[in-house]
Amino acid sequence: MQSNFEKRRKNCWGPPLGKKYIVFIDDMNMPQKEEFGAQPPIELLRQFMDFGGWYDRDDKEKPWLTIVDLIICSAMGPPGGGRANLTQRLQRHFNIIAYTEMSFSAISMIYTTIVNAFFATFSTDIKNALTPLVEAQLEVYDQVLNGPMKPTPSKSHYTFNLRDISKIFQGVVTAN
């Protein structure tokens, strides 16, 4: 990131004059905690946000570099399953936007409405099987979310959400 900055004045760096850099950090709470509970990548971000810069790693004297016109934007999943809690010292720098998980009855109603609308012209036997189909899919989804497939630091690719359910129903509604 530092290689893209331009020198503004002594020990002050940033994007070209008149511009701002936006840095997006995905899965901000994924770094594993060390033996003593610290998360060095998170602490470097917090240092920048608290003090407006960081120390130059390339210089032997390690001078302080003030970084200007840099905006940090991030996203993260809920803590648990290998994801740590963020410290209040870091959270205070962000505007937090969150949403509550939808209930299974609401999700069921959404997908039941979608498949019922698509299969409206199909036979009665197929129409009668739609509600159990949605319920079975949501049962599998619940088992994946709360069962043995929860993400862990060694298996962080096990992340499932409603997008995966939507992909399944996209395939279902291509039937003829």
* CA distances from residue 52 to 13, 19, 80 in whole angstroms, order as listed: 11, 17, 30
**Does 85 lie in the same domain as 41?**
yes
**Does 118 lie in the same domain as 86?**
no
C-alpha triplet 49, 50, 53: angle, nearest 5° = 65
**Domain count within the chain:** 2
Q: What are phi and psi of 57, to 5 degrees?
A: -75, -25
Contact 15, 21 (CB under 8 A): yes
Residues 85 and 77: their CA atoms lie apart, in Å, by 10
Q: Which of 40, 67, 91 is the last residue of a domain?
A: 91
**Does 59 lie in the same domain as 21?**
yes
**Does 115 lie in the same domain as 143?**
yes
Domain residue limits at 63: 2-91
Q: What's the CATH code of the domain at 46?
A: 3.40.50.300
One digit per residue, pLDDT tens: the chain, 176 residues? 888 899 999 889 999 999 999 999 988 888 888 888 888 888 889 999 999 999 988 888 889 999 999 999 999 887 776 778 888 888 999 998 887 888 889 999 999 999 999 999 999 998 899 999 999 988 888 887 777 766 666 666 666 778 888 898 899 888 88
Angle of helix 162-172 relative to helix 130-146, nearest 10 degrees, comes to: 150
Answer yes or no: pTM beyond 0.95. Answer: no
Q: Is residue 64 part of a domain?
A: yes
CA 46 to centroid of chain Cα atoms = 19
